[in-house]
Structure formats: C-alpha cells, structure tokens
Amino acid sequence: MSKNERLNSHSVCVREDLYQKAKEYKTEGGRLAGVLDQLGLTAGSMSESGKASLATLSGAALSLDVHDASDTSLLLALDAQGDRRERAQEERRVEQRVAAQLLARHNAALLQASSLSRALQRLEGQTKKQGQELEKKAKQAAFLQVKASDYKVQAKKLNRELSRSGVDPSIYHGTLVKLSQEMEELQKKVQAMKTTLASYHSLPPDLALSRAKWRKQT
C-alpha cells in the first residue's frame, strides 16, 4: 500500500469515528434534554448566570476533550493537562540549559580563536623580524669575507712588488704587520658571524623552544 493510500485510509477512519461520536453525543444530548424537560429545567427557565455557567462548563469540556461534563471526567482531564504542562515546562528547562551550554561553548571558542589569531600574528611578526636579522647578518658576513679576501690579495701583491723592487724589508715591515692584524680581525668577525648564523639555523621552529635554546647558547 502506498503512502497516499495509507493516509487516505487513516483519514476515512478518523472521519467515521468523528461521525460516530457526533451521533452518540446527539443522542445523549437529546436524552438529557428530555430529562430536563420532564424536570421543567428548560433553557428558557434558566437565569443568565446559569446559562453563562453552562456555556463555560461546556467550553471547558470541549477544551479538555472529555466525553462528558461530570466532575470526575473534568478532574481527570485537569490532572492530565497539569501533567502535560509539567512535562512541557521540564522540556523547556532542559532546552534552556542546553542552549546556555551551547552559548557558553560558542563564546569560549570565539575567545580561543581570537587568542590564537593574536598569537599567530605575533609569531609571524617575530619570524619576519628574525628573518630580516638573519639576512642582514648574512650580508655582513659575505661583505667581510670579500673584504678579507681583498686584503689577502693586496698583501700578496704588495709583497711581490716590494720583493721585485729590492727595497729593504725593514722599511715596509710595519705596514705588512698592520695589514696582517687587520686581516686577522676580519677573520675573527667573519667566524663570529658564521657561528651566529649557524645558531639561528639550528633553532627549532617552535618559538618558545627557540627562545630557551637561544638564551642557553648566549
């Protein structure tokens, strides 16, 4: 059986049940009306307040979906209505607690994301700065290396020229000593630069570990 057929069959059953209930209520209403007529309690003999009370009682019975307006039926219906209200209130309280928990988690996630974003920005800035410092030191080391090589070439060239000229070595000894000392100083600076660059390159990628290792080395 298809879904539409099942729905149609269900609708037919509900409609027939409603017709049957309407017929039963009509029959019962006629019977009660006859009893009231016999007792002389017709609608015309009732006061306005009595009519209003009867209408209120009828409306309550319809709202509570009871079969009759007896005290027992109304009380049982009211108890059932109260139970449904309590369950609805409890479900609402649970939903409110869940919503509050979700909101708290959402706010915590936003704070954590903001904190991580700031930390990432700081790390990127520090990494960029360190990269610029490393590049600067590398250029300085390369410049000093070239300058030291130039001094070596100049010293050898001067030594050859002086040897060919037959000049007494004692005359230019001081100049050669000075050039040799300057070359040694340059070699020391170049070596220090190389050591510093090697230390930077050996640092781990983690910023905190890098700082700790750098402090230990220095």
Which residue matches tokens 């369950």? 87
Query: Which residue type, as a one-letter code, is found at position 108?
Result: A
Q: Could you read off the pLDDT of 116-173 as tens digits, one per residue?
A: 778 778 877 777 777 777 777 777 777 777 777 777 777 777 777 766 766 555 555 5
Q: Could you read off the pLDDT of 14-47 as tens digits, one per residue?
A: 778 777 777 776 776 677 667 667 766 666 666 7
Q: What is the pTM of this model?
A: 0.36
> To 5 degrees, how large is the angle CA 200–CA 206–CA 207?
70
